[in-house]
Structure 1
Amino acid sequence: MWKPELLAPAKNLERLKVAIAYGADAIYLGGQKYGLRARADNFTDYELEQAVVFAHQHNAKIYVTLNAFLHDSDFVGLAEYCQFLESIGVDAVIVSDLGVIRAIRNSSNLNIHLSTQASCLNSYAGLLWKQTGVKRLIVGRELTIAEAGAIREKSGIEVEMFTHGAMCMAYSGHCTISNFTAGRDSNRGGCIQSCRLPYHLETEENKSDDLVSFMSSRDLWGIYQIGEFFQHQICSLKIEGRMKSSFYVGLTCKVYRQLIDAYAAGTLNAEMLQVAARELQSVPNRDYFSGSLETPASKDSVFGQLSGINTGTYEYLGLVVDTTPDEIVLQLVEPLALGEEIEIIPFQGEAIRGRVDRLFSITGESVEFMRQDSIVRIPKFSTATKAANIAKYNVVRFKSAVKEVANAI
């Protein structure tokens, strides 16, 4: 049965390898210029070459973002960069700007996907973009799945939709708040997420000292719409998050991979959706909702918390960077002590739970505690089945103490 592509974000090579290991069919990422995530690590030319080689070895594709809105001075070097991307085998580039599309077509044979920033919201626009050489529309997030499907049918061009992750309060991301508050252009990679901040609201009739959050959007999830994506032949389901952790990327890819495959096999059921929802709640989030996937988003889409995001039920502990017949080697992002309960997330199947009863430094010294950013060795958990499922690029988590305290209260 036909399946939509699962498209995941990558901030760097680690995230890329994690996403592919957990089932992503394609990865979108940025180079050092021309993208809208200037604060992400982004990929050097050498890393882009490595990314393409790794992805193609694992039957995955690479899409590079060239989606900033450029001024004339920004075009210097663009033609050469496109020729480089074509030479290393990049599968497509993601573009917002009509002038950039023309420059790409004049300098290379790269496949072009239209960025959601271009705000394609109707079939007439879809047909026009098709005439410019665009191969895929990443439609505006204001559309329902049914509307996106109608565009695909009428324009005869592939349609991709965001199905999970952070949402922007502005129409198709066209926001200029950062320009005025921080002198950074949101549409050229400089967004500082001013919409997430608390504000005082004043009117002629009312002035309040209370801080409110009125522009911060809740996070999107499309787990309950998997069937609709199939029915309307949405070719690619896109996960937002080029600034997110390997924990987020790996677990989100795993959840959507399972749901896509289960629907295609005719085995998707309510219990699987409950498990999927619980797993997605384990990572930090801003209260999930379905966005405009079924009906236009309304006032209940606002995330009312004044700062930060909700703590997930779990915290990210680290990443498996190697295994031996008896041990697991972890790169820690949080401290680890003897006696702690941890969970390793295999690429398939349930989490592998165990207690850390022995802890070693990378040189083999027995220790009781290791700080974050350390590399540690721990014995594999007892059963042979569990040990066999543990592999490089598995993410590791532990229960969130903050969440447990909140639940106890």
Structure 2
Amino acid sequence: MVTWKPELLAPAKNLERLKVAILYGADAVYVGGQKYGLRARADNFTRQELASAAAFAHQHNAKLYVTLNAFLHDEDFDGLEEYCAYLESIDIDALIISDLGVLREVRKACSIDIHLSTQASCLNQYAAKVWKQMGVTRIILGREVSIQEAGVIRASADIDIELFIHGAMCMSYSGHCTISNFTAGRDSNRGGCSQSCRFSYQLHPYSPVSSQAEMRNNLQPDEAVTFLSSKDLAGADQIVSFFQHRICSLKIEGRMKSSLYVATTCKTYRRLIDAYAQQQQLPLTQHQHELETLSRRDYCDGSLSAPAEADSVYLQGENPNIGSHVPVGIVLDTTDEHITAFLSTPLQQHHQIELMPFQNAHVFHTVENMYNLEGQSITAARQQSVVHIPRTASMKDIAPLNVIRAQKSGS
């Protein structure tokens, strides 16, 4: 048995997803507060929610990291010192920071561990040593670095290294993109990214004698392509390499993603990490198939094994997201007689659903009966409604916060 294993680090946009991540196997969760982060469109956590999140995490032997990784202007520093003092008071385990000025001010305000954000583009041992001297305890390397290179940096700088293992990828260098600034008036490096890289664009040769109008007139609508869009990262087949190079934390991207995404990625990578640590055969085919059920782009391994090349570009068709399953809802409560579920999509009688226990095999169930909260039998339920579904013997492992999914029609 391997005595050491890496941390599994998951994203959460709100308190529900944080609980889902931890219960499905995450060792730590990273979240954003109301300010200073790069996901302004996520629900993000109020101070009270951060306190609740920290308490829940620590009750389940997990850690909580808070992002302060936006690139701040002078006026953005108002309240930062007091905010850091509050985070320390609720026992936040680490802060994720990218900006030198923020790092300096945070060090004055509190003694919370500092993890260097991938936004800082640390790509070599020499930069890692400098960051370590400045008080950084862990470095989230730029996604341009391979696992092997990361292992060298870890050994040379003698510092913990974190790498992304799964999720959406940015075409720009460690996310340093300003397309949204110019196309949407939203600062992508201060929490406003509009994912302009996912849009279709038209390519044409530059001509100094042609006007912009002439060039536009020569383009055809079907010539638009998503040449700036990256495939998604999936590093399941790199688990052995992560262990061999002692990468301390494997990070799942996706603070904007659904509970189904969080549950599926956490459960899958938890099983892979534990299987290797226990020197069991890695069931890669089974778990790669599980990751393919998610709404996603095509997968690649980014630069984990070799520098990403042209085949990592996702030239999407009409439907940018593939995947075989969709979220149905989440279990709110259970009794001996029924499970109570909140629906994220409409549900009808005779639909087949799949309930996902935290550890054991999934439960397939055809909905023959369901009831509203008044106990009345119904044949259909709307999105964002709450229903009772009779509990069967196969549902013995189903618990609150278990996620429910269904196969897409035609999949």
TM-score (norm 1): 0.96
| Amino acid paired to 2:332 | V
Q: Which secondary structure does the structure 2 equivalent of 1:199 belong to?
A: coil
Residue 407 of structure 1: aligned partner? none
Whole-Å separation in 2 of the counterparts to 1:237 and 1:307: 32
The 5 Å alignment of 1:392-403 reads: 392-401=400-409, 403=410
Question: Could you report, residue by residue, the CA deviation over 1:292-312 in whole angstroms, capped at 9, with x for unpaired residues?
Answer: 000000000011015653232
Residue 17 of structure 1: aligned partner? 19
Residue 329 of structure 2: aligned partner? 318
| Amino acid paired to 2:404 | V
Q: Which secondary structure does the structure 1 equivalent of 2:378 belong to?
A: coil
- Of residues 386-395 and 167-176 in structure 1, the stretch that sits farther from structure 2 once superposed is 386-395
Offset, 1:208: 3.8
Does the CA-based 8 Å contact 1:284-1:309 persist in structure 2? no
Q: Which secondary structure does the structure 2 equivalent of 1:2 belong to?
A: coil
| Amino acid paired to 1:244 | K
- Of residues 347-356 and 328-337 in structure 1, the stretch that sits farther from structure 2 once superposed is 347-356
Whole-Å separation in 1 of the counterparts to 2:337 and 2:150: 50
Query: When the two structures are aligned, how many residues end up with a matched partner?
Result: 398
Residue 238 of structure 1: aligned partner? 251
Matching of residue 163 in structure 1 with residue 165 in structure 2 = yes
Q: Which secondary structure does the structure 2 equivalent of 1:252 belong to?
A: helix
Structure 1's 180 and 308: CA in aligned 2 closer, same or farther, altered over 3 A?
Answer: farther
Which of 370, 379, 398 is the aligned partner of 1:368? Answer: 379
Whole-Å separation in 2 of the counterparts to 1:326 and 1:337: 20
Residue 280 of structure 1: aligned partner? 291
The runs of at least 4 consecutive aligned structure 1 residues that moved more than 4 Å come to none
Question: Could you report, residue by residue, the CA deviation over 1:200-230 in whole angstroms, capped at 9, with x for unpaired residues?
Answer: 1111379542111100000000100001000
| Amino acid paired to 2:180 | S
Whole-Å separation in 1 of the counterparts to 2:318 and 2:4: 42
Identify unmatched segments of 5+ residues in structure 1: 405-409
Residue 201 of structure 2: aligned partner? 199
Q: Which secondary structure does the structure 2 equivalent of 1:159 belong to?
A: strand
Matching of residue 263 in structure 1 with residue 271 in structure 2 = no
Matching of residue 390 in structure 1 with residue 382 in structure 2 = no
Residue 143 of structure 1: aligned partner? 145
Offset, 1:120: 0.4
Matching of residue 217 in structure 1 with residue 219 in structure 2 = no
Q: Which secondary structure does the structure 2 equivalent of 1:318 belong to?
A: strand
Identify unmatched segments of 5+ residues in structure 2: 208-214
Residue 297 of structure 1: aligned partner? 308
Two-structure CA RMSD over aligned residues (Å): 1.1
Whole-Å separation in 1 of the counterparts to 2:28 and 2:67: 13
Does the CA-based 8 Å contact 1:328-1:380 persist in structure 2? yes
Whole-Å separation in 2 of the counterparts to 1:180 and 1:303: 23
Question: Could you report, residue by residue, the CA deviation over 1:97-138 in whole angstroms, capped at 9, with x for unpaired residues?
Answer: 011000000111111000000000000000000000000000
Question: Identity rate of aligned residues, in percent?
Answer: 58
- Of residues 291-300 and 196-205 in structure 1, the stretch that sits farther from structure 2 once superposed is 196-205
Offset, 1:268: 2.9
Question: Could you report, residue by residue, the CA deviation over 1:315-334 in whole angstroms, capped at 9, with x for unpaired residues?
Answer: 10000111001211110000
